[in-house]
Amino acid sequence: MMYPHPLIAKEGWFYLVLVGVLAFAVHRFGGLLWSWPLWLFFIFTLQFFRDPQRIAPLGKDLVLSPADGRIVVVEKAYDSYAKRDALKISVFMNVFNVHSNRCSVNGIVREVNYFPGRFLNASVDKASLENERNAVVIDANRHTITLVQIAGLIARRILCYVHPAEHVKRGQRYGFIRFGSRVDVYLPLEAEPLVSVGEKVFATKTALARLPGLDS
C-alpha cells in the first residue's frame, strides 16, 4: 500500500528535523567530538520512524498482524471492549521495531475508545488493563475484531486516525505509538491462531490467525 509519506513516518518528521539541525549546528561549531552523540541519536530516530511499504500474504480469511514485534500472548480472554469471550493475540513492540500500526482486516469501524492509564512495561500482561490504551472495534463481515493500542514504559502518546463508521482495509495505516508499546488483537473464538508466543511478526506481512468467513 502506498502512503503519502513513504519510508519515513510523518510522525517523525519534526523530530528528525529538530535533531538533524541541532547535530549539524553542534558539528559546525564544535566538531565531531561534541556532535557525535547527536548524530547517533539522529540515526536512532531515523530507524525508529521508518515506515516501509508492506505486501499482504495471499489467501482468504487471514487476520493480519497490526504491528511489528514479538508475540507475547496467545490465549482465550475476555474482550471488554466488544463484551465477549475471545482469542487474544498480543504483539509487543520494542524501540527497534517499526511503530506504524495497520488494520488487520477489511471492515467498518464500530467504535473507537480511548482510556487514560498507567505506563507499565507493555510486555507484561496487566498492561492490557492498566496502561493508557486506545481500542478500535471493527465489524468485518459477520465477525468482530478488536485492535487495542497500548502505551508502554517509555511511550507517552498513542495516535489513532480512524473514526466510527469509517470503512477500513487490511494493511491500511491507522495509527502510531511512540517508543515501545503493544497491540492486543481480540478475535472470535473460532479463529485458528497461526502464531505462537515468542514468534517475531511484521505488520501486514504476517498472518496472526485464520478466521472462516472473514472475506466471504
Q: Is residue 215 part of a domain?
A: no
Residue 89 shares a structural domain with residue 138: yes
Q: What is the pLDDT of residue 122?
A: 56
Kindly provide the b/e burial profile for residues 124-149, where b requires at least 16 CB atoms within 10 angstroms of the residue's own CB.
eeebbeebbbbbbbbebeebbbbbbb
> Is residue 83 within 8 Å of residue 111, measured between CB atoms?
no
Query: Which residue segment(s) compose the domain that 12 sits in?
Result: 7-51
Are 112 and 42 in a shared domain? no
- Give pLDDT, residue 181: 84
- Average the pLDDT over each of 5-14, 62-71, 86-95, 177-186 and give the range with the smallest value: 5-14
Domains in the chain, number: 2
In this structure, the answer to whether residues 81 and 178 fall within a common structural domain is yes
Is 216 inside any structural domain? no
Give the mean pLDDT of 135-159. Answer: 87
| Percent of the chain topping pLDDT 70 | 88
In Å, how far are 75, 119, 122, 187 from 156, measured between CA atoms?
27, 8, 12, 27
Same-domain status, 42 and 86: no
At 148-172, the pLDDT tens digits run 999 876 656 788 999 999 999 999 9
Query: What is the chain's mean pLDDT, rounded?
Result: 87
* Among 35, 65, 100, 181, the one annotated catalytic: 181
99 and 38 both lie in a single domain: no
| Strands (DSSP E) found in the chain | 7-8, 50-51, 62-64, 69-79, 84-93, 100-102, 107-115, 133-140, 143-151, 158-160, 167-168, 173-177, 181-187, 192-193, 200-201, 207-210
CA dist 58 to 55, 62, 128, 190, 209, Å?
Answer: 9, 9, 31, 21, 13
- Find the CATH number of the domain harbouring 127: 2.70.70
Angle at 167 between CA 178 and CA 97, to 5 degrees: 25
All cell numbers assigned to 51:
515506515
The reply to whether 56 falls in a domain is no
For the chain, report the end-to-end CA distance as a whole number of angstroms. Answer: 22
* pLDDT value at 179 more than 80: no
Number of continuous H segments (helices) and E segments (strands) in the chain? 3, 16
Say if residue 84 is in the same domain as residue 45. no
12-23: pLDDT as tens digits: 788 888 988 999
Based on the fold, state whether residues 110 and 37 are members of the same structural domain.
no
Reading the block at residue 149, the C-alpha cell is 493500542
Residue 196 and residue 11: Cα distance in Å, rounded? 31
Are both 124 and 27 inside the same structural domain? no
User: What confidence tier does 125 reach under pLDDT thresholds 50, 70, 90?
Assistant: low
- Respond yes or no: is residue 181 known to be catalytic: yes
